[in-house]
Amino acid sequence: PHKIQGIGAGFTPKVLNMNILDSIRPVSDENAFRFAQRLAQEEGLLVGISSGAACCAAYQLAQELGPGKNVVTILPDTGERYFSFYQYF
């Protein structure tokens, strides 16, 4: 079980084409939450925990690829729904 709502085992959107994905990366609940907080504090973006997970995975990939490479991700949710949820982290 995890605390990242909307993503994880057992949930695959019908519109997801697995053939075009470069990779799937696991992200811990804590790192997802930490990146969501970081996006709010450093970039002024109020995003949800799944967006934090996406950003964390993109950041890790960018670190592996090094300078001069581009990494694209999607921030799929807003943080408005999670204000009461933050106490569980």
* DSSP calls for 29-85: HHHHHHHHHHHHHHH---B-HHHHHHHHHHHHHHHHH-TT---------BSGGGTTG
Q: Alpha-carbon dihedral of residues 55, 61, 62, 68, nearest 10 degrees?
A: -140
Residue 56 pLDDT: 98
List the chain residues with pLDDT less than 50: none
Residue 86 pLDDT: 59
Residue 1 pLDDT: 62
pTM: 0.81
Indicate the fold that domain 18-88 takes in CATH: Rossmann fold (3.40.50)
Residue 89 pLDDT: 52
- Per-domain residue ranges of the chain: 18-88
Residue 58 pLDDT: 97
